Amino acid sequence: MGLVHKIVTWSRIKSPWIIHFNTGACNACDIEIVAALTPRYDIERFGIQLKGTPRHADVLVCSGPVTKQIKCRLKRIYDQMPEPKFVVAVGTCACSGGVFDGCYNVESGIDKVIPVSAYIPGCPASPKAIIDGVVKLLTGLEAKEAKAK
Amino acid sequence: MMGLFYMLVFPGFIFLSVFGMAAEYCDRKLYARLQNRVGPPWFQPLADFIKLVSKEEIIPEEANPSMFKIMPVLALTATITAFFYIPAWGYKALYSFNGDLIVVLYLLTIPTLTFFLGGWYSTSLYSKIGAVRALTQLFAYEVPLLMSILAPALLANSWSLSEIAKFYAQHPVYWFFNLLGFAISMISLLGKLEKVPFDIPEAETEIVGGTFTEYGGKLLGLFRLGIDIEAIVGSALLAAVFLPFGLGLPPVAGFLLFVLKVMGVICTLSILRTIFARLRIDQMMAFCWKVLAPLAFVQLFIDLILKWIPLK
């Protein structure tokens, strides 16, 4: 059990497939996420691949405050992902609602709707910060697995 | 007992899985290097596979569970079975009979049919679009592929892959006349493997994941492994028909030469996939029927003429 568990954890850390979802961002964070996916930053080095469908993805990368309209869609996308799954909130708005917090049409940060594993602040968060955040999430996962054992 | 060993270990499931993953790594690494980036580490396909296998399996409520589950397994078994009839090293395939060329081509068509049925039975809109596209594409590339591979068989006067390899080893000059067919079958193979200029059925940027939209976890892992092995088997078929050199070598050298030939075909495919962008389905149909199929006819005529007027 121990060895199998270790191998599975290793593979999870080495192959995070992401799906990008805009929960109401102003597009700045989305552009930075797309920039992080370009050959310039080459995230395939870490095994990260962008997938089109939530069924293939392990990490849901969200940007922007959750608007009232997108809330149920965000929940549905999250439910469509197979376990184990992680959520990364990119940008200040996604972390806490940012300047939109308290607006009549906004439900504050992502963590008010679905559980978030990593927060990446910044307005917008730079591609380097996004990559760093995802890598920290994965190494944190490794540490958590070690502690659980 | 020996049969079980052939099926499961060598040259069956385990050998083909390892070889398929190695080929996927080479493909992805070369793709990355051609885009001027570092690319994935060597264990990437293995890590992807283990991760997918250990993930939760979701079957859509509307989908037909048994069809949904059986399709990836069918794709995998069909491709592995096809490999037994291809002469890899030496003149003789593991199992060979007159007509195995047709059987291999037929078995290589099954994965595409499973993509269609798997997509159709997952009853998602995107996977249905992908499934129909996969079938449409099948009708476009299958004809040039079949004709360009049958032309050398016509010249060799045999439907058996082992006999064809033997014929071309005895008459190496004829090889030059089949180069056109080699190019055509290479392009058709890109369509069969759904690689980039022809990745219309699973185009992630327009129809999310195409056929595989609803697949996740184990089943997706099996499908991906099936596609990797299909790439190996397709390349081995092309190598057996169009590159029949050095088949009389001792076992180890012959095996290395075989790996080299297959890798050569795989690397050419990944260079092609780097330099082209995705076509639309109508452009693909027009290209296959108006350009590839007539060229395959030209190849057939070249071989017919050679048959009537043998080279001295």
Q: Which residue type does B104 have?
A: V
- Work out the pLDDT band at A147, boundaries 50, 70, 90: low
Torsion of CA B79, B242, B20, A52, to 10 degrees: -80
- Work out the pLDDT band at A48, boundaries 50, 70, 90: confident
| Whole-number pLDDT of residue B90 | 66
pTM of the predicted protein model: 0.86
Query: Cβ contact (<8 Å) for B48 and A58?
Result: no
Of the candidates A76, A126, A68, the residue with the CA atom closest to the CA atom of residue A100: A68
Place of tokens 């493909």: B27
Burial of B144 (0-12, 13-18, 19+ CB in 10 A): buried
Evaluate the omega torsion of the peptide bond into residue B60 and state whether it is cis, within 30 degrees of 0.
Answer: no
Of the candidates B233, B104, B102, B109, the residue with the CA atom closest to the CA atom of residue B158: B102
Of the candidates B257, B256, B255, B253, the residue with the CA atom closest to the CA atom of residue B243: B257
Query: Cα dihedral sign for B159, B160, B165, B166?
Result: negative
- Across A3-31, average pLDDT: 85
| Whole-number pLDDT of residue A1 | 58
Tokens read off for A116? 């978030």
Pairing, β A17-22 against β A59-63: parallel
- Work out the pLDDT band at A140, boundaries 50, 70, 90: confident
Tokens read off for A107? 């439900």
Q: Has residue A40 got a pLDDT over 60? A: yes
Q: Residue B311 in contact with residue B200, Cβ under 8 Å? A: no
pLDDT per residue rounded down to tens, chain B (312 residues): 777 777 777 777 888 888 888 998 998 899 889 888 888 888 889 988 988 888 888 888 887 888 888 888 888 888 888 888 887 766 676 777 788 888 888 888 888 889 888 888 888 888 888 888 888 888 888 889 888 888 888 888 888 888 888 787 777 777 778 888 888 988 888 888 888 788 877 777 777 777 888 887 888 888 888 888 888 888 888 888 888 776 767 777 778 888 888 888 899 988 988 888 888 888 888 988 998 889 998 988 888 888 887 766
Query: Cβ contact (<8 Å) for B58 and A82?
Result: yes
Chain B residues within an 8 Å CB radius of A15: 44, 47-48, 51
In 3-state terms, what secondary structure has residue B89? coil
Largest CA distance in chain A: 51
Q: Residue A74 in contact with residue A80, Cβ under 8 Å? A: no
Query: Which residues of B fall below an 8 Å CB-CB distance to A?
Result: 28, 32, 35-41, 43-44, 46-51, 54-58, 126, 204-205, 208-209, 212-217, 220
Chain A with chain B: Cβ pairs closer than 8 A: 89
| Domains of chain B by residue range | 11-308
In 3-state terms, what secondary structure has residue A135? helix
Half-sphere exposure of A18 (CA within 13 A, CB side): 27
Name the residue among B35, B49, B214 with its Cβ closest to that of A55: B214
Instruction: Report the complex ipTM.
Output: 0.84
Secondary structure of B5-72 in HEC code, one letter for each residue: HHHHCCCCHHHHHHHHHHHHHHHHHHHHHHCCCCCCCCCHHHHHHHHHHCCCCCCCCCCCHHHHHHHH
In 3-state terms, what secondary structure has residue B223? helix
In 3-state terms, what secondary structure has residue A59? strand
Query: Cβ contact (<8 Å) for A56 and B209?
Result: yes
Distance (Å, whole) CA B108 – CA B131: 17
Pairing, β A17-22 against β A118-120: unpaired
Q: Minimal Cα–Cα distance from B31 to chain A, Å? A: 11
Q: Has residue A149 got a pLDDT over 60? A: no
Answer with the residue of higher pLDDT: A7 or A143.
A7
Q: Residue B111 in contact with residue B260, Cβ under 8 Å? A: no
